[in-house]
Amino acid sequence: LQLDRCRDTLAYLGARLRRTPPRFVVTCARGSSDHAAVYGKYLIETTLGRAVASMGPSVASVYNTRSLDLRDSLFIAISQSGQSPDLLRMTEAARAGGAVVLGFINDESSPLSALCDVRVPLSAGPEHSVAATKSYLLSGLAFLQLVAYWSDSAELHDAARRLPDALEAASKLDWWPALASLKDASSLYVVGRGSGLGAALEMALKLKETCRLHAEAFSSAEVLHGPLGLVRPGFPVLALGQEDNAAQGMRSVVQRMVELGATVHATLPVPGAQPLPTLPNLPPVLAPLCQVQSFYFAVHQLATARGLDPDAPAHLRKVTETV
């Protein structure tokens, strides 16, 4: 639905950005939306060569910064609800600072939508569970489409068109055997790199909020700078990866964790690691989204096995209004 509905808007925006490229890009989001922005950051930086920074909404809402020089920049606000006061304040500040404001928003009638120069509706439909799922995947697609239209890349356009069928196929891959091993776990790492880092962050969040399981996400490079010290025999690790320039480094880190005795489930084939099922011959830009899809179809089973309701996590609400 998003592919059909947003074609004209994104074609216009892509031509505008090619004609007048922004000096840099700023993203602003919370939670799962921010994890989708990490995916988008790598797409924009590696494809278009434009620096992308994540700006904290508290800069405007808590610290009341009134003068932000965002001239000639593209500011992207990502939100399922479009209602959180801090995100609204930051978007107002970005407009005042001279940015072109783009919104990836699911609730098209939200206050955030009214603040945007260009709106890309996520088209996820109502989300009834507290944990965001459809809106995360469709925020990723919105970034993929943005970069495809901005770069005018036939390869990325083709990848975007392939995503619906790929997600359908990914939903049929069984990650439950891997996640079942976490039923009695108390802590684990989820590791990714490059365009897969956002997927690692998203999976770790879902394990926290639906399974009450302490999961930390790291870049496979960053995990070597200290966190590796916690790895010991039996320590659980989910290792994500896609067949791009980051794959070789990811394999090396997974191999090191296996040597330390960790119980590693990995999407890339590594001796000693237990394989997580993935789709063959998939464009690398789609792999992180499809891996999250497969994970979603198993994590609810883990929550249930731990005696929890995955649709109603403790202490949380669907619309989180932070200041």
φ and ψ at residue 136, rounded to 5 degrees = -65, -50
How would you classify residue 110: left for phi > 0, otherwise alpha for psi between -120 and 50, otherwise beta? Answer: beta
Please name the residue that has the structure tokens 């916690």: 230
306 CB burial (10 A radius; 0-12, 13-18, 19+)? middle
Q: What is the pLDDT along the chain (323 residues), one digit of tens a residue?
A: 999 999 999 999 999 999 999 999 999 999 999 999 999 999 999 999 999 999 988 888 888 887 789 999 999 999 998 988 999 999 999 999 999 999 999 999 999 999 999 999 999 998 788 788 999 999 999 999 999 999 999 999 999 999 999 999 999 999 999 999 999 999 999 999 999 999 999 999 999 999 999 999 999 988 888 898 889 999 999 999 999 999 999 999 999 999 999 999 999 999 999 999 999 999 999 999 999 999 999 999 999 999 999 988 877 665 666 65
Query: Would you tell me how many other CB atoms lie within 10 Å of the CB of residue 261?
Result: 13
Helix (H) or strand (E) holding 26: strand 24-28
pTM to 2 decimal places:
0.95
With contact defined as beta carbons under 8 Å apart, do 101 and 94 qualify? yes
Helix (H) or strand (E) holding 227: none
